[in-house]
Amino acid sequence: MSTDGWKNPLRDPRDKRLPRIAGPCGLVIFGVTGDLSRKKLMPAIYDLANRGLLPPGFALTGFARRDWETQDFGQVVLDAVKAHARTPFNQTVWDRLSEGFRFVQGSFDDDDAFDRLEQTVEQLDEIRGTNGNHAFYLSIPPNAFPVVCKQLARSGLSAQEGLDQWRRVVIEKPFGHDLKSAIELNGIVNEVFPEDSVFRIDHYLGKETVQNILALRFANQLFEPIWNSHYVDHVQITMAEDIGLGGRAGYYDGIGAARDVIQNHLLQLLAFIAMEEPTSFSSNELRSEKIKVLNATRLVGPLDETTARGQYAGGWQGGELVPGLKEEEGFNPESHTETYAAITCEIDTRRWAGVPFYLRTGKRLGRRVTEIAVIFKRAPHLPFDATMTEELGQNAFVIRVQPDEGVTMRFGSKVPGSLMEVRDVTMDFGYGSAFTEASPEAYERLILDVLLGEPSLFPVNEEVERSWEILDPVIEHWAAEKAGPDPYPAGSWGPESANTMLARTGRTWRRP
Ligand code: BG6
């Protein structure tokens, strides 16, 4: 058979299924010794290399105060990869990747150290062919952002040299602690990096199940007609964790659950669920729809009744007796930091008018689960004997973000037998059984997108500022209260006040 004129479809550049491979570039991580770097960033970089998605000359430079040589840094990366990488260890991949490692020792106020970093990056351009393309990952506390940004500017590291070269900055949350500080922070970052070079990480947007919200809503005809206030009674967005805060006092005490995850992850989930269809998935279109819906989102009051906050006390969790927050190492024994937060929002648009969105999150809850439950109104009329529908609840469409990623639909069905008895049943889609490919980690997707310069999954400063604007009144309201958060036992589903908050409108939280 002649193959003249045959083109391998995998080589057609218009084929969007082609793996997206980053061009020549390097990544510098500030805060390499931190938990995030070891548990998420280093393993994700290895996984990308293992999947063949990094350029051959890729360079990874660590910057930290530790008195390390490049070999010591390499060993730390190796340990992190062996402990936390998703894909199997491959010596050849590792050898190639680790040739591009460099380490620069110094503190953030040390001009010499930044000058050395600048020389290192220049040498990498020559030796590894990184071509002047570099991303700077600030995996550091936000109070260090200003000094690092200034150093990057002073040493010339932030300046891209040619039109075809790039310099980007990656910022980890928290982006401020309220609207005012977020505006200040964004100002400082934008003085050095133009907004299109700033990549703010909200790792929830890197999750497959979160991106799947867009596929479910906009690739199907099934859901759109009922995705509005005519059919939807309310929406519950839950991010529950079973872990406590031991070891995280430095970051968490005084911050609390609302700032830690509602301001970012949960409001982003709300935006994905509630936004209108973008005309395309270009980053501008997607962001502009998210911004529109966040602009229409507001808190429902009175906040005493429509919000709840709690703090875990000691208790039994998973067969283990665990301490309360106040007993955790490093926390103030008088701490008023909330480890559980729940708020009520509404969205002032024709689609969503009058539909409450309940957002809740907590540490040391019954189990780890993140889900979005869209709860539908009851059928307007039930032509059944009332005793036959006692076990019929409201229809629900539940997006299981993690773990056990998938979707559940709950609806009524006839119980087999001679009576017309109706009871709730569920129908399930699970990623594990529907697909053979395992989902990449959120950080793999996001780091790759940074290197590719693909901004869709990164909130712009307008989104960040708008999210603070939504949340600030709750934080201020809680701060003005004399009493601290309501205690709840570890292993439970939060404080009683959270149940009361929903009960006032005759609703109850789902028990995931
Ligand atoms: C982080 C929060 O953003 O998300 C942590 O700061 C939280 O407090 C973590 O534990 C949860 O991430 P995931 O991906 O396990 O849901």
pLDDT, tens digit, for every residue of 465-509? Answer: 999 999 999 999 999 999 999 999 999 999 999 999 999 999 999
Total domains in the chain come to 2
Q: How far is CA 420 from CA 380, 385, 395, 409, 410, in A?
A: 18, 8, 18, 21, 19
**CATH code assigned at 131:** 3.40.50.720
Mean pLDDT, residues 163-181 taken together: 93
Cα dihedral 429, 432, 434, 440 sign: positive
**Phi (first) and psi of residue 479, to 5 degrees:** -65, -30
Give a yes or no: residue 10 inside a domain: no
Mean pLDDT, residues 143-154 taken together: 94
Please report the pLDDT score of residue 1 as a whole number: 38
Mean pLDDT, residues 285-308 taken together: 97
Ligand 1, residue 173: give the atom nearest the CA: 3
Residue 493 DSSP one-character state: S
In terms of domains, do 157 and 227 share one? Answer: no
Tell me if 371 CB under 6 Å of ligand 1. no
Tokens describing residue 188:
């400082």
User: CB under 8 Å to 11, separation ≥6 — which residues?
Assistant: none
Opening angle at CA 495, ends 490 and 496, nearest 5: 135
Q: Given a cut of 90, is residue 2 above it in pLDDT?
A: no
CA separation for the pair 96, 100 (Å, rounded): 7
Please report the pLDDT score of residue 14 as a whole number: 58
Tell me if 260 CB under 6 Å of ligand 1. yes
Confidence of residue 252 (pLDDT cuts 50, 70, 90): very high
Higher pLDDT, 20 or 4: 20
pLDDT digits (tens, 9 = 90+) for 182-211: 999 999 999 999 999 999 999 999 999 999
Give a yes or no: residue 297 inside a domain: yes
Report the first-to-last Cα separation within the chain, whole angstroms. Answer: 58
User: CB under 8 Å to 237, separation ≥6 — which residues?
Assistant: 266, 269, 270, 273, 357, 358, 359, 360, 371, 372, 373
pLDDT digits (tens, 9 = 90+) for 19-31: 788 999 999 999 9
Ligand 1, residue 402: give the atom nearest the CA: 16
Q: For the packed helices 145-154 and 179-192, what is the interaxial angle rounded to 10 degrees?
A: 10
Query: Which one, of 360, 263, 270, 345, lies nearest residue 308 by Cα?
Result: 360
Beta carbons of 192 and 155 less than 8 angstroms apart: no
In terms of domains, do 164 and 225 share one? Answer: no
Mean pLDDT, residues 376-384 taken together: 94
Q: Given a cut of 70, is residue 15 above it in pLDDT?
A: no
Q: Given a cut of 60, is residue 389 above it in pLDDT?
A: yes
Nearest CA to ligand 1 atom 6: 260
pLDDT digits (tens, 9 = 90+) for 405-437: 999 999 999 999 999 999 999 999 999 999 988
Tell me if 365 CB under 6 Å of ligand 1. no
Q: Is omega for the bond preceding 174 within 30 degrees of 0, making it cis?
A: yes
Q: Given a cut of 80, is residue 10 above it in pLDDT?
A: no
Mean pLDDT, residues 62-67 taken together: 94
pTM as predicted: 0.94
In terms of domains, do 324 and 276 share one? Answer: yes
In terms of domains, do 30 and 103 share one? Answer: yes
Tokens 């790792």 found at: 203
In terms of domains, do 262 and 354 share one? Answer: yes
Tell me if 241 CB under 6 Å of ligand 1. yes
Percent of the chain with pLDDT over 70: 96
Q: In angstroms, what is the C-alpha Rg of the chain?
A: 25
Measured in angstroms, how far is the CA atom of residue 172 from the centroid of ligand 1? 12
Measured in angstroms, how far is the CA atom of residue 241 from the centroid of ligand 1? 8
Ligand 1, residue 401: give the atom nearest the CA: 16
Please give the torsion angle defined by the CA atoms of residues 135, 138, 142 and 146, in that order, rounded to the nearest 10 degrees: -50
Tokens describing residue 433:
């059984």
Please report the pLDDT score of residue 18 as a whole number: 66
**CATH code assigned at 454:** 3.30.360.10
Percent of the chain with pLDDT over 90: 87
Q: Given a cut of 80, is residue 453 above it in pLDDT?
A: yes
Range of the domain at 131: 26-172
Active site residues: 265
In terms of domains, do 215 and 98 share one? Answer: no
Tell me if 421 CB under 6 Å of ligand 1. no
**Phi (first) and psi of residue 390, to 5 degrees:** -60, -30
Q: Given a cut of 70, is residue 6 above it in pLDDT?
A: no
The 3-state DSSP class for residue 485 equals: coil
Pocket test for ligand 1, best of 241, 264, 404 (most atoms within 8 A of CB): 241
Ligand 1, residue 248: give the atom nearest the CA: 8
